[in-house]
Structure 1
Amino acid sequence: MSTDVVDLILADHRRFEELFRGLRDRSADRTTLLGELSALLVAHAEAEESEVYPALKRYKKVDDDEVDHGAEEHAEGHQALLALLEVGDTASEEWEDKLEELVEALNHHVDEEERTILNDARSEVADDRRAELGRRFVEVRQERLDDDCGDIAYVRRLAKETADRID
């Protein structure tokens, strides 16, 4: 398994897509899939913001505005995730609507992040530095997962703490 932070982030992005496909399947165990998505999404965002984004902002050829915008989009994602988690009935139309809002927000973020921040990181940040960032990213992500960061109470607190980032 690669330790390159770009590869690790991209692998999480592909996992989000797999989980969304599962969540759209009405015959799937949506509760279990949502729990996995919630935990991974929160852990991923927090690891990016604590380890990756601050480091990338120090590189002149990585766009600081895009990095800041990525953090804003994480906050939007936390709001959309919380809205989905708060709908109790996974078979309801409201749940379907909230799922699509989360999918749309996350797909938008992933697309922008991959085209801007991650492309810049791959071309401008040395391999050994990307590997070090990858190790730190994995470490923080695992710490958050171990803290049950996908729990609704955790997501509720995070959404409240980051609400001021949203334009």
Structure 2
Amino acid sequence: MNMIDLGRPTHGDIVDLIVDDHRRFEQLLRQLRMGEGDRDELRRAFAAVHVAHSLAEEEVVYPVLRRKADDVGQHEVEHGEEEHAEGNEALLRVLDLKGTDTPTFVEAVEKLSNLVAHHLAEEELSILAAARTEVAERTRFDLGEKWAARRTELLNQDCGDVENVRRIVEQARREGHLDD
């Protein structure tokens, strides 16, 4: 069904793997904005990689970086989780729209793109740069393997399905990660 390469790494330095995924996000969002390809397929592909990436990050990566990197504290982790929640909320708006060739769709994709771009820049500067210099290479590769496995597991469970994204957003709201 899905002809878009979602990437299924199995190992590597966690910093490189996350940054590679960030570039994948940007490419998918650019294609969505420009209307290059099937927008419905593109939004579903983006949903899958965004949800798998961020859940695996929160479950596998953030807890270890909090312990191992002096410059990654509770504030950075909570801020990252809040930005994931905001991204998922914007993603849900994009997934909920019926037509993909409407001004409403284009606006929703633009809002999603802006939130994601902000998060990627901030995460790369505040969390990943610290991880690269403060966390031992062996730990980064160990994290890379665990993150990649969890990400693939989530992709195989169709984690980007609109009803799953809805559940994730509702849970984030209950946990206070979203201001409403």
TM-score by length of 2: 0.89
What's the CA shift for 1:67?
Answer: 1.7
Aligned residue type for 1:82? L
Aligned to 2:178: 166
1 CA distance for matches of 2:69 and 2:47? 33
What's the CA shift for 1:20?
Answer: 1.0
1:108 has 2:106 as partner: no
Question: How far does the alpha carbon of each residue in 1:93-135 deviate from its partner, in whole angstroms, 9 at most, with x for none?
Answer: 1101100110011000000000010000000000000000000
Q: Which of 6, 10, 16 pairs up with 1:7?
A: 16
Q: Which of 144, 147, 156 pairs up with 1:137?
A: 147
Give structure 1 regions of 4+ aligned residues with deviation exceeding 3 angstroms: none
What's the CA shift for 1:66?
Answer: 1.2
Unaligned runs of 5+ in 2: 1-8
2 CA distance for matches of 1:157 and 1:59? 31
1:71 has 2:81 as partner: yes
Q: Which of 102, 125, 142 pairs up with 1:92?
A: 102
What's the CA shift for 1:60?
Answer: 4.9
Question: What's the RMSD between the two structures over aligned residues?
Answer: 1.2
TM-score by length of 1: 0.96
What's the CA shift for 1:27?
Answer: 4.8
1:34 has 2:54 as partner: no
Unaligned runs of 5+ in 1: none
Aligned residue type for 2:65? L
